[in-house]
Amino acid sequence: MTRKFFVIAGEESGDVVGADLIRAMKSRFPDCRINGIGGNAMLAAGLEDSLFPMSTLSVMGIVEILPRIPEFLKLINQTVAAIEGFAPDAVITIDSPDFCLRVQKSLKNRENQAKRIHYVAPTVWAWRAGRAKKIAQFLDGLMCLYPFEPPFFTREGLRAAFTGHPVLSSGILEARAADFLKHHGINPVEKPPIIGFLCGSRSRELDFSIPLYQKILTQLRQNFPGIIAVFPTLPRFGERLRREFDGGNVIVTHETGGAKFAAFKACDAAIAVSGTVALELAVAGVPHVLTYKMNGISWSIAKLIIHTKFAHLGNILLNNIGENGAVYQEFLQGQARADLILPALTQMLGNPQSQKEFADLSRQLIHLLRPPSPHPMIDFIESVILPPE
């Protein structure tokens, strides 16, 4: 029997996860067919075709999505129709809940026979706890990123499991700073301080982070002559960053996988826009701070509905096992200012004690995020959700 899967990802991070999943499916089910919505990584891994460009779904913020509601509803209907025409064994959606969960719910309402599986649990522990009960009514399975998440859903009758975090299989654990230094001709013995600037994966995040980072870098150059600024970014943002940060000792790179993480590990300190990249820096053991600023209306709404104390996933994970406070410094919204962030970064640069502290935290996070088996996602799909042949 030839298995058929429909896999949907809506953002760059989901595309990477989807590619890993597709490769696992191809290994477990060599003759399977996989359709869906994805980016270059999923297409390279074996996605037969993307129903429409994945970038169509990349929208951020509560306010920003409102004008696009009619378009989103049309895309949902188009996707559901494509799924029904393909008749897959399972529909696996990855993150992007505004779109993906609406597709899954529509399939349930239409009594479609495909198993409905979602990857990346809604953050019910942070806001809108009632979502656990709601999604249990139309999903067949949920794969969770964090070990503390499954109980929020299993008590609502939904099959849920911790399947590990993809950051650990991303190449970050094997990456070496020496590879980045060699590639860019930097002497590891006589190198000046290196600082990483992570600007975000969306245009609006660059609109916020670029002016802030310009102020920070200008001051750091006065305090640390010869400092090297590294900007790991997506290819579509490379030209903009080179233009905005022209001058000496600036490296803009859009390497992926191990090469990207080698750049991380070469940094003595870093600053990142909130998101998965902050967790990647934490797992890599890089001393860093987190910052974020959004539309004022979106921020006001977020403060009313979000109940977690922290934005950094490392803080959330470590506080869940007993830490009490922000292990990783956060500078959000009104605190996202150069004069507040500079002292923290200055303290980290060239500080062996800071390096040791962040390395110790990295080991704790790696332990927490390890998957329970070598192939947990495909095991969950095959053994628990999909019916036996």
Tell me, yes or no, if the two domains 4-164+371-385 and 177-368 fold the same way: yes
Q: Judge whether residue 60 has pLDDT over 70.
A: no
Is the pLDDT score of 386 beyond 90?
Answer: no
* pLDDT at position 138 over 80: yes
Q: How many helices (H) and strands (E) does the chain have?
A: 17, 12
pLDDT (tens digit per residue) in 13-23: 899 899 999 99
Q: Quote the CA–CA distance of 156 and 162 in Å, as a whole number.
A: 16
Q: Which one of 1.20.1250.20, 3.40.50.11930, 3.40.50.10860, 3.40.50.1470 gives the CATH number of domain 4-164+371-385? A: 3.40.50.11930
Identify the pLDDT of residue 61: 47
At 91-104, the pLDDT tens digits run 999 999 989 999 99
pLDDT at 65: 65
Q: Rounded to the nearest 10 degrees, how much is the dihedral formed by the CA atoms of 154, 160, 161, 166? A: -140
Q: Where are the domains of the chain?
A: 4-164+371-385, 177-368
Query: pTM value?
Result: 0.83
Note the CATH number of domain 177-368.
3.40.50.2000
